[in-house]
Amino acid sequence: MTNFSEILKKKEIEGDESHFQSRSRDGVPLQSLYTKEDLAKRGYKESLPGTEPFTRGPQTTMYTGRPWTIRQYAGFSTAEESNAFFISAIKGGQKGLSVAFDLPTHRGYDSDHPRALGDVGKAGVAIDSVLDMKTLFQNIPLDEMSVSMTMNGAVIPILCAFIVAAEEQGVPRKKLKGTIQNDILKEYMVRNTYIYPPKPSMKLVADIIEFTSKEMPFFNSVSISGYHMGEAGAGEALELAYTLANGIEYVKAALAKGLSVDDFAPRLSFFFGIGLNFFTEIAKLRAARTLWVEMMKPFNPKDEKSSMLRTHCQTSGYSLTEKDPHNNIIRTTIEAMAAVLGGTQSLHTNSFDEAIALPTEASARIARNTQLILQHETDLTKTVDPFGGSFFMESLTLDLMQKAREYLKEIEDSGGMLEAISLGIPKLRIEQAATEKQARIDSGEDVVVGVNRYFSGDSNTSLDVRKIDHEMVLKAQLEKLKKLKKERNQKDVEDSLQKISLVAKKGKENLIPFCLEAIRKRATIGEVSLALEKVYGRHLATHTSFGKVYSNMMEGNDEFEKAKKLVLDFDKKTGRRPRLLVAKLGQDGHDRGANVIATGFSDIGFDVDISPLFQTPKEIAKLAIQNDVHVIGVSSQAAGHNTLVPELLEELASEQSREIKVVLGGIIPEGDHKDLLKKGVSAIFTPGVSISTCAITVMEILSSNTKEAF
């Protein structure tokens, strides 16, 4: 019998240290070879699928009995267009619906609100009332179809609109199946589609858990999401730890309502992102199930399902590239396989064109077929947990758990996740990780095929992309709102809204019955949200800055050094450093790009200001003038650039401040470049352009006023 320990010891003496090679990006050891000794020293205990701690899967038979549910996350423009897309997807083999709402809906604004106008129907479907919700699910039997809704800010009025739409379809709420995300804590870390401060928001989360546990037995009350943390830059262990820590906060909130843990915990679900670190992502899902059992033990659940972590997964949007976009089909397939081998219960595969625009019918079909091929043309469903007992996978799972415990202890030591959020700890750690990741890509340490290596001559081949007719959508929504308000009983609506505010102020009763009453009387999503805002207020985030993360990893890089020199030359020539205002316009709260850019430009030598989130063009223009900046860098991830950026340019012109240059970065389809440049944008940076290249171009603009698009 081969003695691996002796062989490895001999190799160490000979100087071969490959067995102890490197570390993963999240501080988790990653060796080049694993043996049974690695399992022994980590205290590995063998287990079976369907039994605690569920490392090998929550079900005994897993996919051999029933494959994962195929979902597609969709929603755009009007409820009518999204409904047609859903019906087509169902005919194509989709088994569950996942709804994407537009940003004004997330933030509790109706489409006619002044702060909503530039974002209506852009990054999701506009839902202003129960009438829109009824249209969204027209001809879709809600007693048969599982519906997942990504909603956290305006979560109560949206859930109520869904319930009332089902009622008016003839489906009682006790028969509804699906999930409302209802995970507000992660919004304060990364995604920012919050409305109210954390404490009252947690009250709303608990109200939903309480109501659904009693009234909606087949409906999941919370989908605790790590996906957006991963998209914002968190590594696997960080995403794992923070997701589970959030989950425990929701458990505590529900228990504070007087519920028994077994009343609600079996209906909690999770949502993880799956990136390209194939084996680590598999280990992450295995570790999540095991840790959740460990973390639930202090609550003494009697029902085994209360400790059973079930999860939906979505392939990464961040890993998709604008250059050589067909490579994204391969990336998504790899990520989907990792989710399946990790034991997900349902899966959404991103479309290859989502780094450019919302997916088309054709690209969505390819994404959906990716899952159908994995289910029907491979042997992935023929055996349960093929990695069970693997020296490598079991060791990696245990290592991930240990690293996650370190992050969890930091949260615990700070007083729990709510307190950690108020201190800015999770947000800071995620933003640091995102900046490090960008530096590795910019320096070439991390290879991205077609972006920083292995370039293709036709990498910028034009694609047919989905375009939203913003004026049409906005006009349609405004007309529907006008008609709704004309036909309803306004006094009944006002009375129901006042009742919501009164109950919220008292702070004890569950708000859902009162919100259901208002929605039935045709109160809008925005009006219900405002009734709560009058009591709770609207949350304003603060930005925590940090420095030297980008420069520490880029020192000596030619482009980085060139950018620094241009900044120094500018300072010597003008007597001041170039000043940049990094801005977010409209209701787009996706701030990963903005924060990374701010850190990178600051390390290069710019004076950098960061605007508050959710600003109007007028507010950004005023801030830029007050701060005497040279250039405004607008970060756009949600398609509002065609309306909001021209408005910003007009505001600057009206204030006689045309000397302030405007550059634009983010998800900007190539077809939009010409018009934006014509209107006065000085440069456009799409995904894949390094921060140093952006800085060099900005300095050239300040020196020569040359217009370029990348």
- The predicted pLDDT at position 545 comes to 65
Say whether 557 sits in a helix, a strand or coil. Answer: coil
The DSSP bridge partners found for residue 708 are 683
- Single out the catalytic residue among 584, 630, 641, 661: 584
- The predicted pLDDT at position 24 comes to 58
Which letter does DSSP use for residue 117 in this model?
A: T
Is 379 catalytic? The answer is no
Per-residue pLDDT tens digits for 273-297: 999 999 999 999 999 999 999 999 9
Q: What is the mean pLDDT of residues 15-39?
A: 70
- Single out the catalytic residue among 34, 38, 63, 73: 73
Per-residue pLDDT tens digits for 629-657: 999 999 988 677 888 999 999 999 999 99
Judged by average pLDDT, the poorest of 52-66, 190-204, 638-652 is: 638-652
Per-residue pLDDT tens digits for 446-457: 999 999 899 876
Backbone angles phi, psi at 70, to 5 degrees: -85, 120
For the stretch 552-577, what's the b/e string if a residue is b when 16 or more beta carbons lie within 10 angstroms of its beta carbon? Answer: ebbeebebbebbbebbeebeeeeeee
Is 44 catalytic? The answer is no
Is 584 catalytic? The answer is yes
For the stretch 379-400, what's the b/e string if a residue is b when 16 or more beta carbons lie within 10 angstroms of its beta carbon? Answer: ebbeebbebbebbbbbbbbbbb
Q: What are the angstrom distances between the C-alpha of 10 and each of 3, 38, 229, 457? A: 11, 17, 43, 49
Is 480 catalytic? The answer is no
Q: Tell me the one-letter amino acid at 418.
A: L
Which letter does DSSP use for residue 72 in this model?
A: E
Is 9 catalytic? The answer is no
Is 458 catalytic? The answer is no
Residue 12: pLDDT over 60? no
Radius of gyration of the chain (CA): 25
Residue 11: pLDDT over 60? no
Residue 482: pLDDT over 90? yes
Cite the DSSP H helix spans in 451-583. Answer: 470-487, 490-506, 512-520, 525-536, 549-554, 558-574
Residue 13: pLDDT over 80? no
- Single out the catalytic residue among 122, 228, 323, 641: 228
Per-residue pLDDT tens digits for 304-360: 999 999 999 999 999 999 889 999 999 999 999 999 999 999 999 999 988 887 788
- Single out the catalytic residue among 63, 196, 227, 250: 227
Under a CB-based contact definition with an 8 Å cutoff, are residues 581 and 588 in contact? no
Q: What are the angstrom distances between the C-alpha of 391 and each of 40, 112, 257, 424, 456? A: 10, 58, 44, 38, 39
